[in-house]
């Protein structure tokens, strides 16, 4: 089985500053892979490099066997590689229903859009109650649900989530991670960036630890959870 996504020696810069210094990783179909590391380690830049928001200067990115390095964001999105950036970035003046419809913009003639909407409302019943409410009036947790729901409407082959639990209450964070597990069970491949390393590694098949734009450790989620250095530095244990 060929990988869903493969990065080989990816280097990305902001001006003259190297943000990624030769990142290589592989994601197999149906996996949850997580990136953990301190702020500024390069986690979000990795997602931005993959989605075309910040194109790499060197290295290759391959999605479902096709090179996507240097392609425009809309081209990559059309291949059903969907990026939910940090900060949710919903359309605040649009209703929940309109936000969800925007997620299916490239599938407007696909009859299966109705099935995707049903899936979203099943995963997030709270959105069903607020379909006619403007996105900007939702709570932070509800906006995160909406951002994820909008991404699901694109029928992603690979779903990239950047800090989905940021600023959420423990109960809402639990809901988001439960949804991530449900998406995996339904066959969605997920690349997850998350500050809550314990929660991320708990759902991940594999994880990569980034420091200063480099991968310094890789392993299964279970192995990384048990690694002494990871527990000390990223899980806050003595």
CATH number at residue 232: 3.40.50.300
**Residue 69, in any domain of the structure:** yes
Residue 212 has pLDDT above 80, yes or no: yes
Whether 140 and 126 have beta carbons less than 8 Å apart is answered as no
Other beta carbons within 10 angstroms of residue 65's beta carbon come to 9
**Residue 21, in any domain of the structure:** yes
How many helices, marked H, and strands, marked E, lie in the chain? 10, 10
For 228, list phi and psi in degrees, rounded to 5. Answer: -60, -45
- Confidence band (pLDDT; 50, 70, 90) for 167? confident
Average pLDDT over residues 110-119: 92
**Residue 29, in any domain of the structure:** yes
- Confidence band (pLDDT; 50, 70, 90) for 108? confident
Helix (H) / strand (E) containing 50: helix 43-51
**Residue 8, in any domain of the structure:** yes
Helix (H) / strand (E) containing 24: strand 17-27
Which segments of 67-193 does DSSP mark as H helices, in order? Answer: 73-78, 96-103, 113-123, 125-129, 140-152, 170-185
**Residue 98, in any domain of the structure:** no
- Confidence band (pLDDT; 50, 70, 90) for 235? confident
**Residue 108, in any domain of the structure:** no
HSE at residue 165, side-chain half, CA atoms within 13 A, is 21
pLDDT of residue 233: 87
Q: What's the predicted TM-score (pTM) here?
A: 0.93
What residues contact 191, with CB distance under 8 A and at least 6 apart?
5, 27, 33, 34, 35, 47, 50, 158, 159, 160, 161
Q: Domain limits at 198?
A: 1-80+193-238
Gap between the Cα atoms of 118 and 31, Å rounded: 24
Our count of domains for the chain comes to: 1
């Amino acid at each position: 089985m060929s990988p869903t996504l493969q990065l080989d020696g990816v280097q990305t810069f902001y001006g003259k500053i190297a943000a990624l210094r030769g990142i290589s990783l592989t994601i197999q179909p149906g996996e949850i892979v997580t990136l953990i590391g301190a702020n500024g380690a390069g986690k979000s830049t990795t997602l931005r490099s993959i989605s075309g928001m910040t194109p790499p200067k060197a290295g290759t990115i391959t999605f479902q066997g096709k090179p996507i390095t240097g392609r425009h964001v809309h081209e990559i999105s059309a291949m059903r590689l969907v990026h939910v950036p940090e900060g949710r970035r919903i359309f605040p003046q649009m209703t929940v229903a309109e936000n969800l419809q925007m997620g299916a913009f490239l599938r407007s003639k696909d009859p299966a859009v109705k099935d995707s909407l049903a899936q979203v409302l099943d995963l997030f019943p709270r959105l069903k109650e607020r379909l006619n409410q403007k996105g900007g009036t939702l709570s932070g947790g509800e906006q995160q649900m909406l951002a994820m729901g909008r991404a699901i409407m694109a029928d992603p082959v690979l779903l990239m989530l950047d800090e989905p639990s940021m600023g959420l209450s423990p109960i809402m964070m639990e809901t988001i991670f439960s949804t991530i597990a449900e998406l995996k069970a339904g066959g969605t491949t997920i690349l997850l960036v998350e500050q809550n390393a314990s929660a991320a590694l708990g759902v991940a098949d594999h994880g990569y630890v980034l420091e200063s734009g480099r991968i310094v450790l890789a392993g299964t989620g279970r192995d990384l959870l048990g690694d002494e250095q990871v527990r000390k530095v990223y899980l806050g244990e003595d």
